[in-house]
Chains A and B, each alone.
Chain A
Amino acid sequence: MILHYLLNGFLTAGHWYNLSVIALSTVVGLWIGLIPGLGPIMAMAILFPFTFLMDPLAGLLMLASIHVAGTYGGSISAIMINVPGEPASAATTFDGYAMTRQGKVRVALGLSVTGSFIGAIFGSMALILAAQPLVSIALKFGPAEYFSLAMLGLCVVAVASRGATAKGLLMGCLGLAVSFIGTDEVLGYPRFTFGLVQLEAKIGVVPVLIGLFAISELMELMLRGGSISAGGSLSGSLFDGVKATFRYPMAILRGLGIGIFCGLVPGVGAVTANLLAYIVERRVAKDPDRFGQGAPEGVIAPEVSNNACIHAALIPTLALGIPHSAGSALVLVAVTIHGLRPGPMLFSGSGELVYGFFAGLLIGAAMFAIFGLLFTRWFSILTIVSTKLLAPILLVVGLVGAYAYNHSFLDIVYAIVFGLIGFAARRYRFPVIGLVMGIVLGPLAETSFHQALEISSGSYLIFVERPLSAGTLIVCALLLVGPTIWEALGNALWRQKAIASQPMKD
């Protein structure tokens, strides 16, 4: 039945008018996603009124295509200039940019486009085939589980910073501390604002990321000189990257799992999915020292994950009417405006429009992959341009991008402050990823912490009484103390063996 609907959907979405809408929106999304501070949500919001004048399916496809292509576009600048165009590409910078420094920018872009394509296709398939069973998982999550999940995210960061767990935890705490600045989301109480009204709004993720990545990289470039590609030359091709992606099937699977899961649980989001996929890859790697030095899995998993997340996020949006992000909220509004009612029945009724939309998502994934392969090879030239010329451009794009986020000079100040923090953190090997995770997960952690205590009338036992929450917290504890215990046990066994193997003395 689904296959029949889907084939009909392809026929509808394949109409030349819908195809041209998808193609044009994909190009817009790619370009907007490239520029830090702009992002696809802004483009979606601006173009939203146009959906009223369009055929319902074309309107929905326009919004979805911009969202999806914009998320992919963010990874292009993340790889080329270490500036995530979109927050959901933050983790892609770590190994993507390292590859660029080695002159392998095209290979990294090939890995990214293939990973993104796979994520988009399988995320869409999860939406089409398994929305209803998957949504039941999302319904099992309450405030206690959300809190445990946020803690898990932070613990994974700390543990993945091998040899620097304390530094990872410290940066996570700093991120949480930054997320407290502004009005308390639960009670509306202004905190750490020094009486300044401007500080009552929370510090946005975009200026923080621009600071941590763009401004700190600008400082590095100015000090280092040369070109981004350390050797001043390019090696490898996009298709080397495309082929290399398939050598890491487990990284793809892990990225998909994390992305779909993060998409299902409202409030978690593509930024977390991207960061978590990177951290998990680093954690499970046999040789984690390769990470940060241009490990292909460090690009593949985060890219698969954020794109799978964007698509899977449509499951709670369409099946429950719970939008997961600003982007899915806009899609939800467009769906309702065109007379559709989000809920389980959406998938069985309104077949032509809904499955036309699903088919359009699959076509959109193919389009951004094609455009990505066609256009990004030209961008790679930027990485062999002298940093003496590139640094001022990065300065302008970074600071104007920070301003664009909220039309506020305060965001420029945030970007500069976090640029300095990022510069020092990189120099002394404090994991910046912990800070980002803390800021991203802070509101979720605090809100769910208070909500859980409200439900339990102040009893902290709620976090251990609910099986899913307790299980997650046990995993957190194991992650933090497990390696130490494991190491101690190993040492004890080794000592015992050494004693046993010593020749007996008279």
Chain B
Amino acid sequence: MSDRTSRNGVGERIFAGAIGIIFAGQFLMALRYPSDPRLFPLIISAAGFLLTVALVLGLGLHDRHLGRPEPLPAGRLTLTLVVSPVYALGLWFLGYWVSTLIAIPLVAWLLGYRKRQTIAIVTLVVTVLLGVLFPLLDVPLPLGLLPRLVGF
């Protein structure tokens, strides 16, 4: 096995192992339930755990199409991982309007987009379009904690 393939195997095994932990946890939790509600989860989590063990041991990892994933640039990866949770927190705390008006230009800017006019137009169009469409369809948008605290 080449170094390239074995390195890929490590990532796959870690991913499979993480799923295996979920199955193990689910199996242990299911043991405490009454017989009927636990039956199916026990069967599936046991099967899932066995599959995980097989994959971690290297059985069933024969994906001939698997190329080595490209290395991820650390800075961009951090931004990628952080952006969704931060926007979600923004929705919860600041509400839809404020967080969206901040998020679109900020993320575009952080990704390296520099046309200010385009950013401004896109931000306004997208924010207003969704902000009008969703309530029109009886879907309330998040108001946010802060606006409610300050009495909006």
A residues bordering B, Cβ < 8 Å? 32, 35, 38, 42-43, 46, 163-167, 169-170, 173-174, 176-177, 180, 184, 186-187, 189, 191-192, 215, 218-219, 222-223, 225, 289, 386-389, 391-393, 395-397, 399-400, 403-404, 407, 409, 412-413, 415-416, 419-420, 424-425, 427-430, 445-446, 449-450
**A166-B51, A391-B111, A395-B107 are contacts. A430–B15 as well, Cβ < 8 Å?**
yes
Is the beta-carbon distance between A409 and B142 smaller than 8 angstroms? yes
Return chain B residues, CB-CB under 8 Å to A420.
81
Which residue of chain B has its CB nearest to the CB of A169? B51
Please report B residues at the A interface, Cβ cutoff 8 Å. Answer: 8, 11-12, 15-16, 19, 22-23, 26, 29-30, 33-34, 36-41, 44-45, 47-48, 51-52, 54-55, 59-66, 69, 72-73, 76-77, 79-81, 83-85, 87-88, 91-92, 96, 100, 103-108, 111-113, 118-119, 122, 126-127, 130, 133-134, 137-142
By the criterion CB–CB under 8 Å, are A32 and B137 in contact? yes
Please pick, from A395, A407, A413, A428, the residue contacting B87 in the complex, using a CB distance under 8 A: A395
B12: chain A residues within 8 A (beta carbon): 428-430
Interface of B is mostly: helix
CB-based contact A396/B104 at 8 Å: yes
Pick from B29, B51, B105: contact of A192, CB under 8 Å: B29
What 18 additional pairs, Cβ within 8 angstroms, besides A191-B30, A429-B65?
A32-B137, A46-B137, A46-B138, A169-B51, A170-B51, A177-B44, A189-B36, A218-B84, A388-B112, A392-B104, A392-B107, A395-B84, A396-B100, A399-B91, A409-B142, A416-B85, A446-B40, A449-B40
B71 → chain A, closest Cβ, in Å?
11
**A166 with B139: CB separation less than 8 A:** no
Give min CB distance, A475 to chain B, whole Å: 19
Q: Which of the residues A404, A412, A427, A430 comes within 8 Å of B88, measured between beta carbons? A: A412
Cβ-neighbour of A393 out of B91, B104, B112 (below 8 A): B104
Chain B residues within 8 Å of A164, by CB: 60, 62-63
Which B residues are CB-close (under 8 A) to A186? 36-37
| Given known contacts A392-B107, A400-B130, A450 and B36 CB-to-CB distance under 8 angstroms | yes
Q: From residue A503, how far is it (CB to closest CB) to chain B in Å?
A: 34
| CB < 8 Å neighbour of B111 from A222, A399, A409 | A222
Q: Which residues of B contact A412 (CB under 8 A)?
A: 88, 91
Contact A173 to B47, CB < 8 A, known contacts A42-B137, A223-B72: yes
A163 CB to nearest chain B CB (Å): 5
Looking at chain A's contact residues, is the secondary structure mostly helix, strand, loop, or mixed? Answer: helix
A276 to B33, CA, bound (A): 33
Q: Are A189 and B34 touching (Cβ within 8 A)?
A: yes
Q: Once the chains bind, are A191 and B41 in contact (CB under 8 Å)?
A: yes
Tell me whether A392 and B108 are in contact (CB under 8 A).
Answer: yes
Residues of chain A with a CB closer than 8 A to B38's CB: 191
A415 and B92 alpha carbons, distance in the complex (Å): 15
Output the least CB separation between A213 and chain B (Å): 14
On whether the beta carbons of A413 and B88 are closer than 8 Å, the reply is yes
Question: Which residues of chain B are near A388, meaning CB under 8 Å?
Answer: 108, 111-113
Bound complex: CA A191 to CA B26 (Å):
9
- Could you say which residues of chain A place their CB within 8 Å of the CB of B59? 166
Pairs of residues from A and B, 9 with the lowest C-beta to C-beta distance, nearest first: A166-B60, A173-B48, A388-B113, A392-B107, A189-B37, A388-B111, A392-B104, A170-B51, A184-B37
